[in-house]
Structure 1
Amino acid sequence: MGTAELVEVVLPGTVEPDGLELRYGSIPVPSAGQVVIAMEATGVSFAEQQMRRGRYYDQPPFPFVPGYDLVGTVLTAGEGVEPGLVGKRVAALTKTGGWASHVALDAADVVAVPDGVGAAEAETAVVNGVTAWQMLHRKARVRAGQTILVHGANGGVGTLLVQLARSAGVRVIGTASARHHDALRQQGVTPVDYRTEDIPARVRELVPGGVDAVFDHVGGRSVTDSWRLLAPGGTLVSYGSAATRDDSGSKQLPVLKILGRVWLWNSLPNGRRAYFFNVWAGRAFGKDRFRARLRADLTQVFAALQRGEVTAQVAARLPLARVADALRLAESGTVTGKVVLTP
Structure 2
Amino acid sequence: MAAPGEFTKRAFLNGRIGFEQAEGVLSMVNARTERAREAASRFLRGTAVGGAVVAAKERGMMLAAAIEAWLDFPEDDVRPMDAEEIATICSELEASLRAASEEAVIGRILREGLSVAIVGRPNVGKSRLLNALLREERAIVADEPGTTRDLVSEVANIRGIPVRLVDSAGMRECADRVEALGVERARNLLTEADIVLAVLDGARELCSEDVRIIGATDVKRSIVVLNKSDLRAAFSDDEAVAVAGGRPWLRVSARTGAGVEALEDAIEAVATSGLLLEGGDQGGMSRRRIECMMRAARSFHDAEVGARSGQPLDMLSIDLRAALDALGELTGDTATEEVIDLLFSEFCVGK
TM over 0.5: no
From the two aligned structures, give the one with the greater strand fraction.
Answer: 1
From the two aligned structures, give the one with the greater helix fraction.
Answer: 2
If the length of structure 2 is used for normalisation, what is the TM-score? Answer: 0.25
Q: Considering only CA atoms, is the larger Rg found in Structure 1 or Structure 2?
A: 2
